[in-house]
Copies of this chain bind each other. A is one copy, B any other.
Amino acid sequence: MEEELNKIDLNALNDDVQIIDIASKLQDYDESEIIRLCSALSDEKLAMVLEQTDEDTQVQIIDSLTNQRALSVFDFMQKDDIVDILGNLSIGRSKQLINLMKAGDKKIIATLLGYKDDTAGGIMTTEFITMNKKYTLDEAIKKIQSLSPKTELLDTIFVTDDNKHLIGTAELRDIIIEDDAKTLNDIVQTNFIYVEPEVDQEEVARIVSKYDLTVVPVVSKNMIMLGIITVDDIIDVLEEEQTEDVLQMGGANKEETIDSTMLESIRLRLPWLLVNLLTAFLAAMAVKVFENTIAQVVALSAIMGIISGMGGNAGSQTISIVIRSIALGKIHFKDGIKRVWREIFVGIINGLAIGLVAGVVVALIYGNWFLCLIVLLAMMCNLAISGLFGILVPLILEKLHLDPALSSSIFVTTATDTLGFFVFLGLASIFLPMLI
């Protein structure tokens, strides 16, 4: 480890790309090693490490710095990243640092801290350039040259009127290409996309993706610019949402990562398993009702799982298509509801096909063709149920502003398990004389 850290230090001081790679490995280092690394790095390099590493390591690094050093490092960071770090520090330390900041910075940070994490306001940064529309392009270039290289994004200039209202954007390339004597007003694109700070980050991601933007301005109701959201933040949003969807669809907690401790894994998984246990008991109760029938035709106990299981599989197909269409904004409650009959019909047809295969195999094994008929009817019925619940549950959850990826599957499986057992064993009870 000693040697490895030395090797990293050397690279770190010379190579920006390496910095990102170091940052992603820092969680493996212990406190004393992190302190050594911090003192070896310049403020600017340490700022890069902070921006790239995970939350726990960020806190560890800041905790190892004096207030003075922390503030000098912050000077090289974007305000939205600073806010994220402050949010993870102890409240005492975070207040100390904010109080020591310059008045202008303090105000920006306070505003940013007021927006929710997952809104446009929460992910925006405040480093952007506005210029009055009366600027000539020559003046604009002079102003750009005079701005410190600290301002990250210079490819898009935001153009305002005399009341500081945003009226459009001007691309740096257009400023260079067009005649110097023209004004920004001559080249401004007034037909631009913007968002308000309360907009959900997923909605912002949809907008950026739809219109192929690299930056989107965040404005107040009266068109005063508050900040910008750049496309790299959007990629982070997309990855975060994707992780959430995959974990929640699988019934895992979105807090769990591959780095969670064993205890955390147990603690995070157990509650959802307990909820599932409840639904498993519901299905078991449906079976219990028919124990008498099963006692007389024990073959039913082996077959019933096929009916309930296939309902679950078909339901999960429907759910995943509906969830994804909701996430991509391709379907909403109103047009979704019109598809209920369609999904039921697809379920019936697939139930017919699957039920025929399953029924014939069962009849051949047990030598009873009434069993085939019951399997066929129950399968069609349960796959129709899977279609009905598979589309209704995610649509209703979405309508109630709950995350459909999180809990659609448990409701649908409960329906297909419980009702699947009920229909199959119910039919078997009715036809009991033919089965014995």
Contacts and interface: CB of A to CB of B under 8 A. Distances in A.
A385 to B, nearest CB: 15
Total identical chains = 2
Nearest to A301: B301
Contact of A294 (B298, B314, B349): B298
Contacts of A193: 17
Given A191-B16, A317-B250, A357 B277 contact: yes
Given A235-B208, A258-B330, A317-B251, A310 B273 contact: yes
Contacts of A172: 155, 172-173, 176
B346 A274 contact: no
Given A172-B155, A291-B302, A328-B239, A262 B345 contact: yes
B250 A316 contact: yes
B320 A302 contact: no
Interface residues of A, number: 106
Nearest to A309: B280
A43 interface: no
Interface in A314-344: 314, 316-325, 327-328, 330-331, 342
Contacts of A324: 243, 246-247
A210 to B, nearest CB: 6
A173 B155 contact: yes
Nearest to A326: B258
Contacts of A431: none
Interface in A208-242: 208-214, 231-232, 234-236, 238-239, 241-242
A29 interface: no
Interface in A256-288: 256-259, 262, 265-266, 269-270, 272-274, 276-277, 280-281, 283-285, 287-288
A82 interface: no
A354 B353 CA distance: 37
Contacts of A308: 305
Interface in A172-225: 172-173, 176-177, 191-193, 208-214
A285 to B, nearest CB: 8
A249 B251 contact: no
Nearest to A247: B320
Interface stretch (A97-105, A110-118, A141-149): A141-149
Contacts of A239: 209, 238, 328
A208 B176 CA distance: 27
Contact of A231 (B176, B231, B249, B256): B231
A39 interface: no
A20 B321 contact: no
A18 to B, nearest CB: 9
Contact of A269 (B154, B209, B314): B314
Interface of A: 15-17, 20, 24, 141, 144-145, 149, 154-155, 172-173, 176-177, 191-193, 208-214, 231-232, 234-236, 238-239, 241-243, 245-247, 249-252, 256-259, 262, 265-266, 269-270, 272-274, 276-277, 280-281, 283-285, 287-288, 291, 294-295, 298-306, 308-310, 313-314, 316-325, 327-328, 330-331, 342, 345-346, 349-350, 353-354, 357-358, 361, 405, 417
22 contacts: A17-B192, A141-B176, A155-B155, A231-B232, A246-B323, A249-B249, A249-B320, A250-B320, A250-B321, A258-B321, A262-B345, A265-B346, A266-B349, A270-B350, A273-B314, A273-B350, A277-B306, A284-B305, A287-B301, A291-B301, A294-B294, A305-B305
